């Protein structure tokens, strides 16, 4: 840097050019906030780091970024931010959040130069974000019945809210949008369906709105409508593909709240968009699940595996790995009958708070006979900062913070609609179907399938 400044000085002396702005020259050699850093932050960080959003501070203004310059460099270089846990070299996903190596170099240059502001004329316009429903007015809006209070200081809160839907018949769903009521505290949400009444009973037995939960909703769901995390876009299925909403279902909205230092309330909403075009395929799920989780205390790298062989040709739309606080890494691979290997997902540094659903950029075709394998590791040592036990204890399968899970749901549809039944018959096929938004064999599915085969006309699918 010193040499560069000297050069600049010599340059100015030689040419006597007081008119040449020094900032321009410096900008070419280092990086400034206005010219180089603001575009990176606006594009990759502002969705969460702006007033009212989940990020703990705004990164829209120079002063905000300057005082955290070193911190920004650190969290971007070790890839903690923007949060995106799936390995980008392992599977082709939609909406990947990741800085390029060039972005990282620019941040580095900027920090080394002392985080200069630069020329005000270089500053791009502040980013704008669409308000309201991103997919347009939903056919059905489901809202938490009353605001839920989140105290200023507390542990993170995991709670399920039961919202009756009241649909008299089975419906097919094309898209779902979750709209957090208070973005500064809603960390993520998972949308389950229940038509068994169990969730209502749980709600009734727990004081206050909703009931406590952690890793799962506390019952075996009979359907699902996806999930939401900050920065994720609304879940729209490809044309002709639908999720099932069985008659008389309750929506069970599981929300993870992260208190932000001020007392807050939240009243989140879910928008449902029914299919308007003929349905050709019903979504279902393949659950890779090994309940034989039994992790000895102190073990730093406890391994568990699972596998399933596909009975029919499927197209995979997305994948959702799930572990709790001891989870370390998870990898899912598909070995095709021709011997080729398709990477499905790899998370190397699992973080319960950033568990996500990853949507493939294009549906991944997996032919009959494909072997899908899962391998996961857990750290039950005292060195794991998220270990819920001190000192470490034996940990087994369960839904509580202190339990563990080994589960990965792959959202798929069979290439031939009538093959749905074979997928239900896989181990944990029913749970997989429910978690992925499918329907279950004993109720509704024949009707839905018949409607799929008849290429249901849009008019007959009006709201009941
Ligand atoms: C999808 C939402 C989201 C995006 C996008 C995002 N952040 Fe964050 N960021 C958060 C949240 C939430 C936290 C609070 C810690 C946590 O929950 O992991 C956070 C924390 C941080 C922290 C503090 C880390 C700590 O250990 O306390 C920094 C610094 C940061 N973000 C910088 C960035 C930068 C720079 C970008 C863009 C390159 C970015 N973030 C993009 C949501 C986001």
CA distances 316 to 95, 151, 320, 340, 436, Å, are: 16, 40, 12, 16, 11
Query: Is residue 353 predicted with pLDDT exceeding 60?
Result: yes
- Cβ distance 210 to 268 under 8 Å? no
- Cβ distance 174 to 194 under 8 Å? no
Query: Is residue 452 predicted with pLDDT exceeding 70?
Result: no
What is the rounded distance in angstroms from the CA atom of residue 255 to the CA atom of residue 9?
58
Q: Pick the closest to residue 423 from 224, 284, 222 (CA basis).
A: 284
**Spacing, Cα 99 to ligand 1 middle (Å):** 13
Ligand 1: which of 36, 38, 43, 49 to mutate, most ligand atoms within 8 Å of CB? Answer: 49
- List, as one string, the DSSP characters of 37-98: IHHHHHHHTTTTSSTTSSSSS--SSHHHHHTTHHHHHHHHHTT-SS---B-TTSS-BSS---
- Cβ distance 75 to 81 under 8 Å? yes
Query: Is residue 459 predicted with pLDDT exceeding 60?
Result: no
**3-state per-residue secondary structure call for 374-439:** EEEEECCCCCCCCCCCCCCCCEEECCCCCCECCEEEEEEEECCHHHHHHHHCCCCHHHHHHHHCCC
CA distances 430 to 27, 167, 420, 435, Å, are: 59, 22, 11, 9
What is the rounded distance in angstroms from the CA atom of residue 60 to the CA atom of residue 52?
12
The SS3 call for residue 459 is: helix
Ligand 1: which of 47, 77, 83, 184 to mutate, most ligand atoms within 8 Å of CB? Answer: 83
Pairing mode, if any, of strands 241-245 and 281-282?
parallel
Query: Is residue 161 predicted with pLDDT exceeding 80?
Result: yes
Query: Is residue 221 predicted with pLDDT exceeding 90?
Result: no
DSSP tally for the chain: helices H, then strands E: 10, 23
Q: Is 197 left (phi over 0), alpha (psi -120 to 50) or beta?
A: left
**Spacing, Cα 221 to ligand 1 middle (Å):** 32
**What confidence tens digit (pLDDT) does each residue in 414-424 have?**
999 888 889 98
Ligand 1: which of 36, 67, 73, 81 to mutate, most ligand atoms within 8 Å of CB? Answer: 81
What is the rounded distance in angstroms from the CA atom of residue 217 to the CA atom of residue 226?
13
DSSP bridge partners of 149? 265
**What confidence tens digit (pLDDT) does each residue in 389-430 have?**
999 999 998 877 788 999 999 999 999 988 888 998 899 888
What is the rounded distance in angstroms from the CA atom of residue 98 to the CA atom of residue 77?
11
Instruction: Give mean pLDDT, residues 85-103.
Output: 94
What is the rounded distance in angstroms from the CA atom of residue 342 to the CA atom of residue 365?
10
**Spacing, Cα 82 to ligand 1 middle (Å):** 6
Place of tokens 């070995």: 335
DSSP code at position 350: -
pLDDT band (50, 70, 90) for residue 432: confident
Ligand 1 binding pocket (C-beta < 6 A) is: 44-45, 47-49, 54-56, 68, 71-72, 75-76, 81-83, 97, 99, 230-231, 353
Q: Pick the closest to residue 329 from 344, 350, 313, 309 (CA basis).
A: 350
**Spacing, Cα 49 to ligand 1 middle (Å):** 7
What is the rounded distance in angstroms from the CA atom of residue 31 to the CA atom of residue 110?
5
**Spacing, Cα 64 to ligand 1 middle (Å):** 13
Average pLDDT taken over every residue of the chain = 87
**What confidence tens digit (pLDDT) does each residue in 15-61 have?**
333 334 444 444 456 899 999 999 999 999 999 999 988 889 999 99
What the chain holds in terms of domains, given with CATH numbers, is: 31-122 (no CATH), 140-279 (2.60.120.310), 284-436 (2.60.120.230)
Looking at residue 444, what is its pLDDT? 53
Length of the chain: 464
What is the rounded distance in angstroms from the CA atom of residue 357 to the CA atom of residue 437?
13
Instruction: Give mean pLDDT, residues 156-177.
Output: 92
Instruction: Give mean pLDDT, residues 74-89.
Output: 94
Instruction: Give mean pLDDT, residues 84-89.
Output: 92
Question: How many other CB atoms sit within 10 Å of the CB of residue 438?
Answer: 28
């Amino acid at each position: 840097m010193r040499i560069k400044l000297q050069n600049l000085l010599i340059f100015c002396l030689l040419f006597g050019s007081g008119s040449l702005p020094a900032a321009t020259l410096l900008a070419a050699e280092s990086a400034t906030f206005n010219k180089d850093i603001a575009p990176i932050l606006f594009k990759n960080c502002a969705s969460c780091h702006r007033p009212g959003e989940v990020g703990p501070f705004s990164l829209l203004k120079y002063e905000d970024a300057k005082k955290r310059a070193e911190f920004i460099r650190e969290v971007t270089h070790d890839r903690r931010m923007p949060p995106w846990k799936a390995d980008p070299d392992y599977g082709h996903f939609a909406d990947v959040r990741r800085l390029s190596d060039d972005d990282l170099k620019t941040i580095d240059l900027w920090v080394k130069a002392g985080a200069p502001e630069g020329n005000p004329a270089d500053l791009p316009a502040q980013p704008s974000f669409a308000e309201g429903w991103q997919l347009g007015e939903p056919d059905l809006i489901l809202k938490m019945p009353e605001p839920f209070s989140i105290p200023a200081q507390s542990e993170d809160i995991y709670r399920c809210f039961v919202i009756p839907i009241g649909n008299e018949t089975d419906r097919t769903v094309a898209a779902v949008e979750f709209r957090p009521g208070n973005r500064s505290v809603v960390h993520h949400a998972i949308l389950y369906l229940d038509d068994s009444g169990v969730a209502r009973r749980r709600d009734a037995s727990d004081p206050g709105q909703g009931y406590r939960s952690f890793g799962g909703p506390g019952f075996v769901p009979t359907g699902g409508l996806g999930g939401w995390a900050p920065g994720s876009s609304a879940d729209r299925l490809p044309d002709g593909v639908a999720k099932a909403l069985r008659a008389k279902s309750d929506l069970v909205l599981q929300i993870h709240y992260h208190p932000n230092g001020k007392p807050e309330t939240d009243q989140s909403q879910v928008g449902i968009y029914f299919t308007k075009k003929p349905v050709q395929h019903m979504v279902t799920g393949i659950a890779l699940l090994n309940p034989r989780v039994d992790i000895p205390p102190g073990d730093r790298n406890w391994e568990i595996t699972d596998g399933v062989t596909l009975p029919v040709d499927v197209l995979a739309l997305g994948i959702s790995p799930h572990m709790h606080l001891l989870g370390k890494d998870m990898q899912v691979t598909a070995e095709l009958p021709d011997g080729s290997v398709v990477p499905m997902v790899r998370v190397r540094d699992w973080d319960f708070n950033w568990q996500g659903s990853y949507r493939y950029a294009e549906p991944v075709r997996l032919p009959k006979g494909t072997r899908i394998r899962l391998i996961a590791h857990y750290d039950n040592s005292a060195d794991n900062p998220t270990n819920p036990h001190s000192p470490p204890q034996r940990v087994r399968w369960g839904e509580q913070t202190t339990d563990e899970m080994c589960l990965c749901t792959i959202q798929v549809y069979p290439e031939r609609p009538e093959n749905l039944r074979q997928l239900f018959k896989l181990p944990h096929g029913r749970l997989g179907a429910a978690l992925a938004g499918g329907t279950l064999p004993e109720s509704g599915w024949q009707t839905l399938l018949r409607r799929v085969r008849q290429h249901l006309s849009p008019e007959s699918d009006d709201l009941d």
